[in-house]
Amino acid sequence: MKSPVKILLINRHPPYGHAAARDSIDVALTGATLNQDVQLLFMGDGVYQLLPQHNASLLEQKNIGDLLSMLNMYGITQVYAQKKALEERSLSGEDLTIATQTLSDSDIQTLIAQQDCTLNF
Amino acid sequence: MRFSLVVQAPPASRQGSHSAYRFAQTLLTDGHELYRVFFYGDGIHNASRLYCPPKGEPNLPKLWQTLAQTYQLDLVVCIAAAMRRGLVDSNEAKRHHLDADNLLSGFQVSGLGQLIDATAHSDRVVSFD
């Protein structure tokens, strides 16, 4: 295995209403456990996953916010959010729970070009 | 070039599953290597033995099965994604006391480790959502 593989998980779905957010976290945890270099990018509605105080118990679903804040214990520290998506939703980097770098769309192109693999959720 | 594919689209509902199949077929006839096809999320439905499309529509599970036989492909279905969607192999059916199983032969259930392994061993990973 060439190691570590740079894997970018691009998240475009909000935290609830679609399995994508949970599916992405499962891949992130597996990749981190297997010592790969997993990074997360949140674009479009995906930035909603980064807001604090999810009340997932109302939906009988796992709390995505809690799961995301656990990821840095697994060595996943590079978390990015699309600047334009935040602005469109009247959010800023300060509203977000986990330490996130905000990126312009051209920074995102650079980030993607640096990866070995990107997966979409 | 060595490829792996990640399929998250179910057959019938979205084009992605058929596109994945056609992409796989083309890369193989062009002489590239297909290391693994990993079915995740709703993509697991491509492994159903009970899939019955109407006449004139592609039978994607059977198409994948045939392609896998021809080229000795590794078709892997994420076991967690499959179980929660009612796609069950015979071992899991016994374990959970279910009265039936429905995994099409030619596919195997496994974990996300196989997806990560594919990313480490492939020149390109292409997703179909």
pLDDT tens profile B85-104: 999 999 999 999 999 999 99
Report the alpha-carbon distance of residue A22 to residue A121 in Å, rounded: 9
SS3 B59: coil
Instruction: Compute the 3-state secondary structure of chain A and give helix, strand, coil in percent, each to the nearest 5.
Output: 45, 20, 35
Annotated active-site residue B78? The verdict is: yes
Contact B37, B4 (CB under 8 A): yes
pTM above 0.90, yes or no: yes
**Could you report the per-residue pLDDT of A16-68, keeping only the tens digit for each?**
999 999 999 999 999 999 999 999 999 999 999 999 999 999 999 999 999 99
Q: What separation in angstroms does the CA of B40 have from each of A6, B17, B87, B92, B128?
A: 20, 11, 12, 17, 10
pLDDT recorded at residue A3:
72
Would you say A121 and A21 are in contact if contact means Cβ atoms under 8 Å apart? yes
Residue owning tokens 């056609």: B22
Cβ separation A120–B125 shorter than 8 A: no
Does the structure show a pLDDT above 80 at B53? yes
Question: Across all residues in chain A, what is the average pLDDT?
Answer: 95
Question: What percent of chain B is modeled with pLDDT above 90?
Answer: 99
Chain centre distance of CA A34: 18
Residue from A23, A61, A115 to probe the interface with B (highest B Cβ count within 10 Å): A23
Q: Which residues contact A4 (CB under 8 A, 6 or more apart)?
A: A35, A36, A37
What counts of helices (H) and strands (E) characterise chain B?
5, 5
ipTM rounded to 2 decimals: 0.94
Say which residue the tokens 């006839």 belong to: B29
Q: Closest by alpha carbon to B76, among B26, B39, B121, B49?
A: B39
- What local confidence, expressed as pLDDT, does residue A99 receive? 83
Residues on A contacting B at a C-beta cutoff of 8 Å = 1-3, 5, 7, 19-20, 23, 26-27, 30-31, 34, 36, 116-120
Share of chain A above pLDDT 70, in %: 98
The kind and range of the H/E element at A32 are helix A20-33
Decide if A119 and B80 are in contact by the 8 Å CB cutoff.
no
